[in-house]
Each structure stands twice: as C-alpha cells, then as structure tokens.
Structure 1
Amino acid sequence: MSQRNEVTGQPRPRLIPLPEEQWDARTRELLAVTPHDAGNRIPNIFTTLVRHPDLYERFLPFGGQLLLRGRLPEELRELLILRTAWNTGARYEWGRHLPLARAAGLTDADIDRITEDPETPGWTGLQRHLIRAADELNREATMSDATWEALADHFGDAELIEITMLVGQYHMVAFFLNATGVELDPGFDIPRS
C-alpha cells in the first residue's frame, strides 16, 4: 500500500515533478510553451511528464488539439472529460477540469449529476448520450450501436471521431496520473470524498 500525504490524505507521488534545478536546456524549452497557472507556476502534470521529454513533446500538441482546438462545444467536451475522470478515479483530472467545466457553462447541479447514472433527471438527451458514450468506452472500449446512432443524429464524422479520441486521451492521462500519483496543484483542491 502506498504512503499517504498527511495534509491531503492522498497517496504520495511515485514520481515527483522534476525540480527546476534539474531542468536542462531542452526541458526549459519544452516547459516554456506549457500553460502556466497563476503565479507563473507550471502544473504538476507537465513537470512530471517532462521526465520523458520525447513523449512529452508529442503529447502536448495532441492534448492541445483536443482541449483548445477541438470541434466539440466546450461544455460537451468538459462533460466528457469529467465523466472520464469520474470513471477512472482521476482526482487530478477532476480537480483541474472543474474550473474549465464551470467556465464552459456546466452548473454545480450538472457537475454533481456527472457522478450519477446517465438516466438521472436533469440531463438533456444529448448529454445523456454523451455520458453513456463515456461509460461504454470506459467499460468496453467501444460504443453500442444505439449510443453511436444517437450521437450521429447530432454530430458529423469528425465530431464522432473526436468524442472517442477525447475520452480515450483522458483515459490514458488518468492512467498516468493515477499510476504516478501526480498531486493536485495548489488552488485546485477538491473536497475529500
């Protein structure tokens, strides 16, 4: 069993963020284009992942495409990301995306509902289908015909591809975050469950 942080109660990281005094020229260059938090702080996900600079260099453009330049409306993108974080138990992913979800228009009631069954009252039909898609992709690594067809009534081919890639990418990120124990950054704390 992993040791727990006395303050947060979360498992201690297996990999810590690479300390700045260990950054070489390439690391500095890679992290220079990374999104920074308040106070010019670089999020722990990036300072941990940069321990594998070749992978980091290729990961950032793909993740950025889905997060910043994707075709899905922000609200739907964040709904899928939060459901994926919930399905995988990715505390870091959940905590980092809560502010983005709220900024995209998800309400606190929507966010609470993300942790419940897709049939919970309050969802629109489209939101319900997206929750089902995230759940099915998480469980079976595919979508049922019924879910695919329901989404195809709302989206074109590119958006359907993006839905699967978005859930898959955030599933992969959850594997990394959970396995390495990346700690949630200051200012993004969420209540202990």
Structure 2
Amino acid sequence: MTLRMAPAAQPYEKDMEETLARLMPEGVEPLLLFRTLARNPRVFRRFMAGGLLDKGTLSIREREIMIDRTCALCGGEYEWGVHIAFFKERAGFGNAEIAATLAPDGAVAACWSTEERLIMQLADQLHDTSRVGEALWTALKATFSDEQILELTVLAGLYHMISFVVNGLDLPPETYAARFAQHA
C-alpha cells in the first residue's frame, strides 16, 4: 500500500525520539500515526501535549469505552484497533464489549453497567448532535463528577480529531491492531 504521506525518517529530533520511546512498549515500533505526525515537529509536540492517557478522573475502562466508541462512530479503525490491542485486557473488555463499541445499538448492550451505558450514550449524542441533551445531562450529573464529565467530553473531542487525522491520511492498520470486521 502506498502511503499518502511518508512518516518522518530517523533520526528524529532528540525530544521526539524520547517521546516516541516512552509511548510504546519496549521493542514495539512507534505507531505510524506518531511517526507521521513527527513530520511536523510543532504539530507533533502539540498533539502529544493534548493526550489524556495518563491517570485522570476516569478508570481505564471508562476512558476506553469513550475512546473506542468515539473512534468506531467516526470510522477510525486505525485508532480503535490500536486501543483494542493495547488496552482491552486492562479495560476488562471481552468480545461483547468490543463488539458493542461497534454496534449501532451498542449503548444499550447488556455487557455495560448503568454508568457505562451513560458513557456510550454521551459518545453517541456528542457524535450525532455535538450536544448533550437535558435528560442525558441530568443522568450524567447524578452519576459522574463535573471533572469526569469534562474529561469524557474532551476525550470525545480528541478522538474525533484523531479519527479525522487517521482517516484523512488513510493510515493502514498496525499489524497487531484489531479490525472492525473481526468484531462486528
């Protein structure tokens, strides 16, 4: 497959080399997405500064529900597949949860707790309308802290952006990444 844009070539600038080395497990090449963003050092640095994969107000499972659902809704198979590959065990995802992130009616799947269904509904509403309706807002406020709602909303926005980037560049999936067709 011919790439629309070649990734940056090594050697990378020192801070980029260090960042790329920190992001991946030992022995795993940096993601094609990261290497491609490294073509523009300013964009790469800003992109890396905007990540929310550190310890925040959400559990890994809650975070991954929002990320995976958002990427699935955007058709961002590249990013969805990477997240499933790297985080499914830590998030406690089995086949039912993975499939539900892809399903049109995934927000009501039996595999989710009541709180998790709210995260799925939030991803769906933000994707479909760019807003949160009053009924969902009330349910979110009764369940999550303001800080958690803010983090969930920002995650949805970040992963819309990432989906736009991977889809716009038409990045091929990483060899180890999950694929939509395997789980639909």
Give the Cα–Cα distance (whole angstroms) in 1 for the partners of residues 126 and 161 of structure 2: 12
In structure 2, the gaps of 5 or more residues are: none
| Map of 1:119 onto structure 2 | 108
CA RMSD of aligned residues (A): 1.8
Q: Output one character per residue of 1:63-96: Cα deviation in whole Å (capped at 9) or x when no partner.
A: 1xx1113211110100111101110000111111
Offset of 1:48 from its aligned partner? 0.4
Give the Cα–Cα distance (whole angstroms) in 2 for the partners of residues 120 and 129 of structure 1: 12
In structure 1, the gaps of 5 or more residues are: 6-11
C-alpha contact 1:15 1:181 (8 A) present in aligned 2 = no
Aligned pairs, number: 177
1:1-193 correspondence to structure 2 within 5 Å? 5=1, 12-20=2-10, 23=11, 26=13, 28-34=14-20, 35-63=23-51, 66-99=52-85, 100-116=87-103, 117=105, 118-190=107-179, 192=181
C-alpha contact 2:81 2:180 (8 A) present in aligned 1 = no
Distance 1:190 1:39, change over 3 A: same
Give the Cα–Cα distance (whole angstroms) in 1 for the partners of residues 56 and 3 of structure 2: 31
Secondary structure of the equivalent of 2:143?
coil
Give the Cα–Cα distance (whole angstroms) in 2 for the partners of residues 175 and 122 of structure 1: 28
What stretches of structure 1 move > 4 A for 4+ residues in a row?
none
User: Percent sequence identity over matched residues?
Assistant: 29
Offset of 1:40 from its aligned partner? 4.4
Offset of 1:167 from its aligned partner? 0.6
TM-score, scaled relative to structure 2:
0.87
Offset of 1:36 from its aligned partner? 2.3
Q: For 1:85, give the aligned amino acid.
A: C
